[in-house]
Amino acid sequence: MGQTAAGHPYDRRCLSAGRRAGNRLAQMERTADPRSAEKLRHGPDLPPQKQSRSGISAETGRTGPGSRLRSRIFHRRKVQTCRTRARFAGDPAGFAAFVSNHQISKDRRQKMIKVAQCWDDGVATDIRLTEILRKYNAKATFNLCPGNLSEETVQPFWTDPMSQGWSHYGFRGGAVGKKDLKAVYSGFQVASHCWKHENAGLIPDADFLKAAVDARHFLEDVFQQECRGFAWPCGKHTPETERLLAEAGFRYGRTTANLADVTSNENPLALASSCHFLNWQFWKIFEEAKKTGVFYFWGHSYEMMEYPPLWERFEQKIKVLSEDPEVEWVDVIDLPDLLRKKQPTSGMLS
């Protein structure tokens, strides 16, 4: 391991490159060009260091196998750079394309996991939610029920938990008004959540299909974009309603089921997510999802109510995900293309 003079050919090349650099350094010193000599000795962007005659840094005292290894790595990279430049000599366009492709490949290697999220019901707390998402350039899909929306935005409010009507521990999230839909959800994907949150299996299938399609057409008219996504109200779905939605052109139907491996979903019309956004094991599930490359969470913004710690914790989640170099935000509509090859299924899928 310690012999280099008669060792591997790579070692001999390193020694040869080192000798050439040493000869050039001596020549610069003889011609009284201390600046160039200093650059060659220490590199162009590093501050000069005092050197002893033995070649050991007087400041760091580095020597031994570690220094020799660093020297070999430096000279190997230098040889690779010289060969690349020689390959594209006289062809600057080719060299630029090579560098660009190399950077693209590097970026693709860095993006190790695709992350998607969606939010249900079109409540007024989505206004605060979208502000956070825009702040961190995070993608999201909002599943809306147009029949439950009034013209004007209804602000969130508190009520008696025992009073008639649905509430989240006494908190009602209000609703985004129809005239404010574009302002609130512009830049995000929107999807059908039925006209008035109708549940599959509780009404005739034909009525359910009409509610799903009517909501889709309404959203397409408002946002002037295709809306082929769907979220099953309360997660309820049947094989027959799955078939009807597929025939109507929907690409996926999100359930409330969870899967450790989202890519193992066999049927995109019964799409399971990784977890709910308030799951106490959120980060553990995220780390496990890196093995398969897809992480998908969902929720309702009203579940954070007006409680600052919940909103702060949520914003921190989005911040961490957005700043992670391995994360790439995607829309839910992109997930069907990331699933494994689908097999014929029968019966309930969640």
- The mean per-residue pLDDT over the stretch 308-328 comes to 98
User: What are the backbone dihedrals phi and psi of residue 345, each rounded to the nearest 5 degrees, phi first?
Assistant: -130, 165
Look at the chain and report how many structural domains it folds into: 2
Structural domain range at position 20: 10-44+62-109
Asked whether the CA dihedral 63, 65, 68, 70 is positive or negative, the reply is negative
User: Is residue 178 domain-resident?
Assistant: yes
Judge if 220 and 291 occupy the same domain: yes
The dihedral of CA 323, 144, 175, 120: what is its sign?
A: negative
Q: Tell me: do 23 and 100 sit in the same domain.
A: yes
261 and 152 share a domain? yes
What pLDDT score does 240 carry?
98
**Mean residue pLDDT across the chain:** 83
Q: Do residue 177 and residue 80 come from a single domain?
A: no
Same domain (yes/no): 247, 133: yes
pLDDT in tens, 202-258: 999 999 999 999 999 999 999 999 999 999 999 999 999 999 999 999 999 999 999
pLDDT in tens, 4-47: 444 555 455 545 655 666 666 566 556 655 555 555 455 444 44
Task: Indicate the pLDDT class of residue 49, thresholds 50, 70 and 90.
Answer: very low
- Do 283 and 243 share a structural domain? yes
- 57 found inside a domain: no
- Residue 350 placed within a domain: no
Beta bridge partners of 141: 118, 189
- Note whether 176 and 184 are within 8 A (CB): yes
Same domain, 93 and 133: no
CA atoms within 13 A on the CB side of 341: 0
Q: Does position 127 have pLDDT exceeding 90, yes or no?
A: yes
In a shared domain, residues 100 and 163: no
pLDDT of 156-186, one tens digit each?
A: 999 988 777 778 999 999 999 999 999 999 9
Quick one: 96 and 117 in the same domain? no
Residues 202 and 135 in one domain: yes
Domain annotation covers residue 144: yes
Token pair of 3 as six digits: 């012999």
Question: pLDDT tens, 247-303?
Answer: 999 999 999 999 999 999 999 999 999 999 999 999 999 999 999 999 999 999 999
- Do 140 and 160 meet the contact criterion of CB atoms below 8 Å apart? no
Kindly state whether residues 186 and 286 are assigned to the same domain.
yes
Task: Answer yes or no: is 18 within a domain.
Answer: yes
Within this chain, do residues 104 and 117 fall inside the same structural domain, yes or no? no
